[in-house]
Amino acid sequence: MRRIVTMAVVVAALVALALLVRRTSPRVASARAATTTDITFKEGICNAPGSHCHNSFVKGDPTAFGARIIFSLPLTQGSTKIGREKGECVFLNRRSGQYFCDYNIRLLGGQVSVQGALPYNLNASASIPVTGGTGVYEGAYGHLTLLKDPNPPMRYQLHITTP
């Protein structure tokens, strides 16, 4: 009989300890599935209403090493304004035919940052990485692709994944 009582006390103590540990241990939230968003848009043109651009040419040459453009351009899908991009692009060298660009894309709900080399030639396609985001795009990663089109305005596809 003594053995049964001792076993019952030990089992009760272990159950109580297990409940106490479960109650005081931190809980881990279940993992949230990543969200993917694809947005195709046109970028405004520097001389259009609502666009702001400043070119800093080197000795009057827009394609000289270090020439740059600082911009704030509206973004549209069809005739609907969906946001604005603000930043700058610096021309690298003639042989590369590329700008190094660093800018933010403001959309409904937050901003996405992108950074990388894009071609000077509008008839080429290229992608640069999404380097972060704010608001609903917090922790964003992905890429921005310049879509091949010989005529302005330039078209892009933004592929965003948020954790």
Question: Does a structural domain hold residue 22?
Answer: no
Question: Does a structural domain hold residue 1?
Answer: no
pLDDT at 63: 87
H or E segment to which residue 73 belongs = strand 68-77
Cis ω for the linkage preceding 129 (within 30 of 0): no
DSSP per-residue letters across 98-139: EEEEEEEEEETTEEEEEEEEEESSTT--EEEEEEEE-GGGTT
Q: Which residue has the higher pLDDT, 24 or 128?
A: 128
Question: Does a structural domain hold residue 21?
Answer: no
Per-residue burial over 51-69, b = 16 or more CB atoms within 10 Å of its CB, e = otherwise: beeeeeeeeeeeeeeebbb
The total of structural domains in the chain comes to 1
Question: Does a structural domain hold residue 8?
Answer: no
DSSP per-residue letters across 22-56: HHHSPPPPPPPPPEEEEEEEEEPPTTSTT-EEEEE
Domain around 158: 32-162
Is the pLDDT confidence value at 2 over 80? no
Question: Does a structural domain hold residue 14?
Answer: no
pLDDT at 29: 60
Question: Does a structural domain hold residue 13?
Answer: no
Average pLDDT, the chain: 86
Question: Does a structural domain hold residue 19?
Answer: no
pLDDT at 121: 79
User: Secondary structure of 138-153 in the HEC alphabet?
Assistant: CCCEEEEEEECCCCCC
pLDDT tens for each residue of 65-91: 999 999 999 999 999 999 999 999 999
pLDDT tens for each residue of 98-146: 999 999 999 999 999 999 999 987 788 899 999 999 999 999 999 999 9
Is the pLDDT confidence value at 10 over 60? no
Question: For residues 115 and 25, what is the distance between their CA atoms, to the nearest angstrom?
Answer: 42
Q: Can you give the CATH number for the domain in which 105 is found? A: 2.40.480.10
